[in-house]
Amino acid sequence: MAGMVPDPETDMLGLIDVQPTFMPGGELPVPEGDAVLPVIARLLEGPFRHAFATQDWHPADHLSFASQHPGRAPYDSVAMPYGPQTLWPDHAVQGSANAALHPALPQGRIEMILRKGFRREVDSYSAFFENDHRTPTGLEGWLRARGVRRLFLAGLATDFCVAWSAEDAARLGFGVVVIEDACRGIGLPLPEGGTTLEAARRRLGGMGVAFLRSEAIG
């Protein structure tokens, strides 16, 4: 896939949760999360003419926050009506500075910003559906109306919001490329062994999602 040139008519760059809350110094820091910024900036100022961004946007009492579950700690898992839910530190709280798109992100080619996770009772990792896998965000319709057929995804975190977005996009029939060096993961340990990062990569690879470094795009 070296030398892949995005088609401005059918390819789009998707930026997943590039927010200070997920970077060092934020409430839910992804290791080296800020390292994605210069890579994404190059992509936005170079090969990609069209992009969208997602923005995690939680009310202060969101039920995915460990603070809303007495006796529970961040990274515990609880049963929610839609299935198991990892509990997180309070993060991406609506209106806070750390919930904004990172100020170092060039926004001239970002044509739509999608806010997700604003419903208190359900978390939202994917850019396409809430975690109940039924409630759509509306992104699919917007992309189809634009004639987009393939998505290049970047952002945070590889094994959660990027992976769930990639999985849903593939299920919906889009071609999907994850730009590896424009993402960073959390890598939580799994009870069965391995990490969430390793599991996400295996799952996505099995669905035909491609992994590519940014220098191969141009």
Domain boundaries, the chain: 11-60+90-216
- How many angstroms separate the first and last alpha carbons of the chain? 11
The one catalytic residue in 116, 123, 159, 168 is 116
Could you say which residues of the chain have pLDDT below 70? 1-3
The one catalytic residue in 123, 161, 168, 183 is 161
Amino acid making up residue 79: A
Q: Show the CA angle centred on residue 208, arms to residues 204 and 214, nearest 5°.
A: 80
Q: Which 3 state secondary structure label does DSSP give 135?
A: coil
Q: Which 3 state secondary structure label does DSSP give 13?
A: strand
pLDDT of residue 82: 95
pLDDT tens per residue across span 127-159 = 999 999 999 999 999 999 999 999 999 999 999
Let me know if 116 is a catalytic residue.
Answer: yes
The one catalytic residue in 11, 17, 34, 90 is 17
Let me know if 17 is a catalytic residue.
Answer: yes
Architecture of the domain made up of 11-60+90-216: 3-Layer(aba) Sandwich (3.40)
pLDDT of residue 218: 85
